[in-house]
Every structure is written in structure tokens, then in C-alpha cells.
Amino acid sequence: MSTITEKVCIDALSLPRNARAELVRRLLVSLENEDFTDEGEKGWRNEIERRRQDFREGKANSVSAEEALRQAQAAIE
């Protein structure tokens, strides 16, 4: 990962939740080169809610931004 990409990731992870969600949506649209459909948007919202509920119920744990970046980097190498 380039230094610029790493800085952008760190900066993005420090954004408020709604801003991160909007950034993710825009990045996905740019990769797919098409707009989200209502069905696709609903699917993502359902997934987000499922993960939020898992976290609240203790079924999922949080990790630091640094750890998330390390795991992401390891996954793509």
C-alpha cells in the first residue's frame, strides 16, 4: 500500500460514521461504474444493521484502526 493510500485510509477511518458510509458508497459506485439500485442499497443497510446488532450482543468485537489496516493489508498481499 502506498504512503498516500495508507494516509487516506487512516484519515477515512477517523471520519464520523455517516461520512465513512458515504465514502464507502461512492468508492463502490466508482468501482462498479454504476449507481446502486434500491435493492442493493437495502441489502447493504441490512448487512450493516446485522453487524451492528452482532456488536451490541457481543457476538463481534471491535478492532483499532491500525489493526483493521494491518488485517486488510495482510489480506491483499
The string of pLDDT tens digits covering residues 8-51 is 999 999 999 999 999 998 888 887 765 556 677 788 888 989 99
Which cell goes with 4? Answer: 498516500
Q: Is 0.75 topped by the overall pTM?
A: no
Query: Residues 56, 26, 36, 68: what is their CA dihedral angle, to the nearest 10 degrees?
Result: -30
